[in-house]
Structure 1
Amino acid sequence: MSPRPPFWLAEPSRYAALSQPRARIAAALLALLLLATLLALASPGPPPVSHTPASRADDQRDVMLYETIVQGIRAGGDYYSVTAQALRTGDYPMRPFVTFRLPTLAVVQAALPRLATIALLYALVAGVGYAWYLRLGGVFNRPAPRLIALALLASGLMAFVQSDLIAFHEIWGGLLIALSLAVRREDKWIEAVAIGLIAMLIRENAALYVGVMVLFALAEGRRREAIGWAATLGVLAIVVALHAHAVAMVVRETDPASPGWAGLLGFGFFVKTMQISTALDLAPLWIAAPLVGLALFGWSAWRSPLALRALGVFTAYALLLALFGRTDTFYWGLMIAPTLLIGLAFAPDGLRDLIAAAREPRRKIIVTRVTR
């Protein structure tokens, strides 16, 4: 069966040439995915934000912690001593060492005026937008869908243009992952690797993104690229070892330990974090949740190696949040929030092609006996 003419995409979707049995299996899996997103309705979430100035200390407790650390370094303090004091004052856990963020972001921000840091954030947001504008060129068969895809990107960047979040590590990590994905091409991957390394040095759980890129490079037979990505993981390992040693020098045996990260809150918690982290927060959860599922489906519909890599990254962070996330670590979702909703722009072609393939009547073979 030849592929159907595309609807929005410049090329047929991944589901355009499916046989009827495979299309029906894919349709059943999509239905299960959409039903699974409704688990978010029963999933716990972070405490509601009051948005009142008097409650800022409660609403943005972590942000104020990071701001305090930056101010302490500006005043001449050592990062690890300042951070240890701030964590103790805020009654935060201090063991294991991963409760301390890597010093990269705080040290850089302490060296820059606040306005310069805000300008750098907005420049990075603009860079992400421009990179995806270029990356989506030629993907759609007319300008309107491309503009819709960019609007969906903007809806994923809603939290990333809030200047009062500049000290939040996931804000920078999520933007850098989005930029790395956009600039990576089969014949041009060094820039993406470098950006991925910066993301990890700011927020070490960006290593999950880099690990996925290593696996895909190996699966595609791109050995040099795989070595490049893996080398950055080696750099991170050295940095983390030095970081752990520095933390051990300032932590006391009486300091509190983390309760652990085995939250086991499930797939519904991942869906809820995606709502909270994007413009879907403006919609009721019963509407937003299926849209998250359709966005994931849309990425699977775009016939592109980039789409598969992006889908792999989303899946990896979905597992991270479902298995290890807690209600107070919902912000891990910011690591993939910028690009997730772009998948909704690919979904119309995928849905149309999948439904058409599932309804395709089986061709009957008629055998006629000719008697002479």
Structure 2
Amino acid sequence: MRRPPSPLWLAQPSRFATLSASRARAALALLVLLLATTLLALGTPGPPPVSGDPANRAEDQSDVVLYETIVEGVRHGGSYYPVTADALRAGNYPLRPFVTFRLPTLAMVQAALPAFVTTALLYLLAAATALAWFARLREAFARPPPVIAAMALLAGGMMAFVQPDLVAFHEVWAGLFVALSLAVRRPGRWMPAVAFGLVAVLVRETAGLYLALMAAIAWIEGDRREALGWAAAIGVLALAVGLHAHAVAQVVRPLDPASPGWSGLLGFGFFVRTMTISTALGLAPLWLAAPLVGLALFGWAAWRDPLGLRVLAITAGYALVLALFGRTDTFYWGLLVAPTLLVGLAFALDGVRDLVVGALDRRRITVTRMVR
């Protein structure tokens, strides 16, 4: 181990600050490989382009229009499952297996509230998420300027989450609850994090991977009580999904179409592409945005804090799911981890500097034995 250089932005040296020269070179080579691999996104198919014309909203945001139709049906006295089945049939959507039906949580809440209240709640949730992350990030950096930069990156990751047109989109709410859960979790104070994580999965069950990874990390770290807390949330999700499947079975007909399946096998490049679409990186050309996704992942690894590894593990978990099972029309799964991704760029500066300094370190210690 070598003496760590003084941090540039961070309050403490990065995770790579004390690596030996050989390990720093190896880590630097892996970083270059990661950045090169992100360029696979250039050859990976993405979702169909949108026209941006308000007159074509039904085609550009067909899923959102579907969810809005369901909410309106429930608001006017319909029962959730028959209303959803009719809406899926009308839109030529598959009705089998049962996971093609969203859990009723969000639709029922929206149907019970005026539209402007639901939008206000979304903004309130986004603000609470930003404040929670501000509390964590101001501890990570030594001065205000990098904190401001990190918050700007957080805002870039949350661009899609404050659009009123997407208020009926389940992943928007679930992604914010996942980000809020991560921010409020601290050693010995995990109950609020579990509660917010549970809300996320009751809105969108694909957030269950988040619960499973948090439970596994808590178990590995030796906090059995926290691990059991996350496991209890998984149990509640399992019960809710079981009841949901039973309700769906009552409204599905034998001739209703089935889903084509979730074995896209589009690879790591598809995950990178979904992250560029889901964040402010969509404003940049793909050849530039793709390496920034890899650099953000590296940044989370560089932060010497348990939260950094948690964010990295969860993002990597969803990257694997998208790479193996995602289809071009399910790119929105990436919204579950999009809010926090770009913040990793704020940690990357110290991490890259420390790897370069370590890789170039050629100092040698010579021990001379003197005999009198």
Q: Does 1:299 align with 2:303?
A: no
Match of 2:168 in 1: 167
Match of 1:352 in 2: 353
Unaligned runs of 5+ in 1: none
Match of 1:84 in 2: 85
Counterpart of 2:165 in structure 1: which amino acid?
Answer: D
Give, in whole Å, the separation in 2 of the partners of 1:267 and 1:251: 35
Normalising by structure 1, report the TM-score: 0.98
Give, in whole Å, the separation in 2 of the partners of 1:194 and 1:350: 33
Match of 1:278 in 2: 279
Counterpart of 2:338 in structure 1: which amino acid?
Answer: A
Give, in whole Å, the separation in 1 of the partners of 2:363 and 2:145: 36
Query: What aligned pairs does 1:295-334 form with structure 2 within 5 A after superposition?
Result: 295-334=296-335
**1:228 positional shift:** 0.1
Q: Does 1:36 align with 2:37?
A: yes
**1:126 positional shift:** 0.5
Give, in whole Å, the separation in 1 of the partners of 2:54 and 2:23: 55
Give, in whole Å, the separation in 2 of the partners of 1:122 and 1:6: 35
Match of 1:361 in 2: 362
Per-residue Cα deviation, 1:245-298 (whole angstroms, up to 9, x for no partner)? 000000011000000000000000000000000000000000000000000000
Counterpart of 2:164 in structure 1: which amino acid?
Answer: S
Match of 2:247 in 1: 246
Query: What aligned pairs does 1:132-151 form with structure 2 within 5 A after superposition?
Result: 132-151=133-152
**1:363 positional shift:** 1.4
Secondary structure (helix, strand or coil) at the match of 2:138 reads coil
Per-residue Cα deviation, 1:326-364 (whole angstroms, up to 9, x for no partner)? 000001111111100000000010000011111111515
Give, in whole Å, the separation in 1 of the partners of 2:145 and 2:214: 31
Per-residue Cα deviation, 1:291-320 (whole angstroms, up to 9, x for no partner)? 000000000000000000010000000001
Give, in whole Å, the separation in 1 of the partners of 2:236 and 2:365: 60
Bigger CA drift: 357-366 or 53-62?
Answer: 357-366
CA RMSD of aligned residues (A): 1.1
**1:367 positional shift:** 5.5
Secondary structure (helix, strand or coil) at the match of 2:242 reads helix
Match of 1:10 in 2: 11
Secondary structure (helix, strand or coil) at the match of 2:262 reads coil
Give, in whole Å, the separation in 2 of the partners of 1:205 and 1:331: 11
Counterpart of 1:303 in structure 2: which amino acid?
Answer: R
**1:187 positional shift:** 2.1
Give, in whole Å, the separation in 2 of the partners of 1:25 and 1:209: 30
Secondary structure (helix, strand or coil) at the match of 1:216 reads helix
Query: Is contact 2:138–2:144 with CA below 8 Å preserved after alignment?
Result: no
Counterpart of 2:104 in structure 1: which amino acid?
Answer: P
Bigger CA drift: 321-330 or 133-142?
Answer: 133-142
Counterpart of 1:130 in structure 2: which amino acid?
Answer: L
**1:366 positional shift:** 5.9
Give, in whole Å, the separation in 2 of the partners of 1:347 and 1:262: 33
Secondary structure (helix, strand or coil) at the match of 1:91 reads coil
Per-residue Cα deviation, 1:32-73 (whole angstroms, up to 9, x for no partner)? 100000000000000101011221111000000000000000
Q: Does 1:183 align with 2:177?
A: no
Secondary structure (helix, strand or coil) at the match of 1:138 reads helix
